[in-house]
Amino acid sequence: MNILLAGGAGYIGSHTAVELLSAGHSVVIVDDYSNSSPEAINRIEEITGKKVTAYTADVKDKAAMRKVFGENKLDCVIHFAGLKAVGESVQQPVRYYRNNIDTTLTLLECMQEADVKCIVFSSSATVYGEENKIPYVETMKRGSCSNPYGWTKVMMEEILEDATVADKDLSVVLLRYFNPIGAHDSGMLGEDPQGIPNNLMPYIAQVAVGRRDKLTVFGGDYPTPDGTCRRDYIHVMDLANGHLKAVEYAAQHKGTEVFNLGTGTPYSVLEIIKAFENASGVNIKYEIGPRRAGDLPEFWANANKAANVLGWKTVRTLEDMCKDTWKWQSMNPQGYIK
């Protein structure tokens, strides 16, 4: 299949591109590089030995996206194009609603015009909100989210579901990620946030490599075993494999299906710090700070549906996640900047 990766130069998109190309598919990447680097495209090609068609464009830009759809015979779209920082979304809600929802509407309109009937959406565990009990199961209702980022994911899922009601030939797969970390085991691809990292693992890695002085842990008084938030961390290459399985499933399917992609095992912030120290041999300086707006104490996945329907399971350990992150960061101390 020829697959459009909207936001495909980003962290998850770039690793998914490698997975898709390695499985024999071709990819077209569109990215505005607002939180990614064109160098990721070169690295994807170097790892796979295959050429990538890439466009520099904002996925909200309908004229630009019409050009992409017009110049490429596409079989499926994977929608990664979104702003994704919980804390930032609390501070900049309008920007998040405008960007995330507009990209989704533009893609659906262009798909309709080009008669593309298959889309895999990069959703999030945040759609389960504050009311649902853990572990989260796909049959649960979407909850009341604690931040605008989560609400954009809820709204985009609803938009995509409504589209399949209106178009019986449309296939939508909603992938609810938990917490992706790690990097490609070559050390050539990894998470390279622009500016101060909003997520835990890249911040730890930047402290380890000397780019940051110390890590601030947001809250040490949560009702968890060690007082810090617990999350279900998943290796980005396991997540990339989930997209490969989802695309191949979506091509044979109509309507909307939802899958959790997680390990089912939560780890606390302090456990992640310790695991990274063990994998890297570097001591991570940290301090406990106040809680961050929008954070829940803990959550993790029930991923049985993905195992049963997609034949997907995680195979990499927390040690692998930390080891591969350290390899990436130590080989690329300034990220993709050479």
Q: Report the catalytic residues.
A: 149
Dihedrals phi, psi of 293, to nearest 5 degrees: -60, 135
From the centroid of its chain, how far is CA 285? 27
Q: What region does 264 belong to: left with phi over 0, alpha with psi -120 to 50, or beta?
A: left
From the list 57, 159, 58, 165, the residue with the least C-alpha distance to 109 is 159
Which long-range contacts (C-beta less than 8 Å, at least 24 apart) are formed by 190-193? 190/11, 190/324, 190/325, 190/328, 190/329, 190/332, 190/335, 191/11, 191/236, 191/325, 191/328, 192/11, 192/36, 192/37, 192/40, 192/332, 192/335, 192/336, 193/11, 193/35
